Amino acid sequence: MSTPAPDVFLADCPARSALELIADTWSVVVLVGLAHGPRRYTALLDRAGGISKKMLTQTLRRLGEAGLVERPEVRGGEYRLTALGVSLLGPLTALTAWAEEHAHELA
């Protein structure tokens, strides 16, 4: 028996979980913040204006558990995108560029 193709219109579709994770504002900001290479926690905190330490920690934990971000093994190490995280940069870059271009129209 074959597995049905993902369909985001179905309540139990696993793609919905993926969309929920990457549609979060802070997830997008953190992933794009890591686009140009690894960063330490404090560098991400400084770069992502308005994010609290608690929210950054939670976001990095969720992205790490999802396999999008590699978390450092030692305190003070650098966070970096995994291959899966890198594969998401194209769509996220397009989305953030669109948002920056049209933000005033949506307000």
Mean pLDDT of the 73-96 span: 94
What are the b/e assignments for 33-51, b being 16+ CB within 10 Å? Answer: bbeeeebebeebbeebeeb
Question: How many angstroms separate the CA atoms of 63 and 66, rounded?
Answer: 5
Q: What is the side-by-side order of every strand in the sheet holding 69-70?
A: 39-40, 78-81, 69-70
Which CATH number does the domain 14-106 belong to among 3.40.50.300, 3.90.245.10, 1.10.10.10, 3.10.105.10?
1.10.10.10
- Higher local confidence (pLDDT), 24 or 107: 24
Span 73-99, mean pLDDT?
94
Residue 106 confidence (pLDDT) above 80: yes
Query: Per residue in 2-60, pLDDT tens?
Result: 677 778 888 888 888 888 888 889 999 999 999 999 999 999 999 998 999 999 999 99
Res 1: pLDDT: 62
